[in-house]
Amino acid sequence: MPDDSQPDGSNVIIRPARDVRGVVRIPGDKSISHRYAMLAAIAEGTSRFHNFSAARDCASTLDCVGKLGCEWKRQEDGSIEVLGAGARLKAPSQVLDCGNSGSTMRMLSGILSGQPFSSELCGDESLSRRPMARIMKPLTEMGAQISSSENGRPPLKIRGGALKAIHYKPEVASAQVKSCVLFAGLFAEGETIVEEPIRTRDHGEIALRAFGAEVGRIGNSSRIAGGQRLRAIEAHVAGDLSSAAFFLCAAALFPGSQITLPGILMNPTRARLLDILIQMGLKVSVAHLEEHHGELVGTIEAHGATWKGAVIAGGDTAALIDEIPVLAAVAPFSQGGLEVRDAKELRVKESDRIAAVATNLRKMGAEIEERPDGMRVPGGQHLHGAELDSFGDHRIAMAFAVAALRAEGETMIQGADAAGVSYPAFFEELKTVAGR
């Protein structure tokens, strides 16, 4: 599948498929892996994580906690061990490079705000364009001193210290902002409350409980008391449902296709994706449901059938923000198309994902209406192969690899190596299940 003329793998050619069939073992969930690594750093004892995400983003988190005095290593069985430093970390001797990972920068800033030293966080060109004012505001209210470059963009300089609890009501629903403030709340005097406009992923709250903290929740409000100590854990990270979405959408493209995905995260704040896919016609069943450290895990089996349309808006948009690019990329092949509203947040991800989806679909011959906070993709369309751009965005690269499976002719994705940010083995896995 990789273009042999590109030995670095930056360009990938996707050829049309007859169907999609097989078993895929999805890598560990990114959201949970980030949080486990950060909390392990401030826990007492040595934590061990099996199926820890292989994503470059999570490697950035491990690199940062290592620079903060927490030794970590990969065991022979592939698990990751992190030696916790307890509540007080070591002042870094160099800048903390978060790479492409907004998750690393935003959530780690909460922990660093409670440390008695100064630190600086930077990132790559893409991350340096992403908004950080949304975490700077609450952390400053709590007592941290934070400065940034122009317009609240990275790099960030943080002078931590004694923090005070706040009741924070973010304007934009964001699980990263929520986790950032709750992590800072561990170091604050009093009880910190985050009250969201719309409920977001609760991996931060569940992870905190797994490490021994008490976290309360009423409605859309989460609260944590400062001064709690965390203890090390051993845990298996469930498969990333956002990564599974690409294979589920691939199966949806071909009636009669069949995909089995064992050990997938089934957290209710993430599983809305399955509801939407079922609504759009994919036949989905879940078996072997179990609970691991507060997170639900199960095996997903999906069969392709008639592919219908959908409207994603309001709370669904927040719940599906990572999956919208692939849903939109395959929407032209549906009967009723896809309409996405209330998704302005997509404009400030690793790329402007609304513009990126629109640009690539048009190159493939599709009609699409691009809107300031969303898009409308009509159904019943035929796509042809084209030279597409990943825009340096892992989800755009993978989304259009899936769409290309049903296009007429070959598709080249430039900058496909961006997929390594979240799923290094994606193209090889896709090759194994695409029947030709």
> Terminal CA-to-CA distance of the chain, rounded, Å?
12
Count, in order, helices (H) and strands (E) of the chain. 13, 28
Task: Confirm whether 322 is a catalytic residue.
Answer: yes
Please report, for residues 267, 330, 423, the alpha-carbon distance to residue 240 in angstroms, rounded to integers and kept in the order given: 11, 20, 10
Q: Report the run of H or E that residue 428 belongs to, with start and end.
A: helix 426-433
Pairing of strands 43-44, 230-231: parallel
* CA-based torsion, 389, 394, 399, 404: positive or negative: positive
Q: Which of the residues 19, 322, 389, 417 is marked catalytic? A: 322
Look at phi and psi of residue 56 and say left if phi exceeds 0, alpha if psi is from -120 to 50, else beta.
alpha
Whether 210 and 233 have beta carbons less than 8 Å apart is answered as yes
List all residues 6 or more positions away from 219 whose beta carbon is below 8 Å from its beta carbon.
none
**Cis omega (within 30 of 0) on the bond before 2?**
no
Please name the residue that has the structure tokens 């505001």. Answer: 137
DSSP letter string over 236-254? EPPB-HHHHHHHHHHHHTS
The residue behind tokens 């209406």 is 369
Residues with a known catalytic role? 322
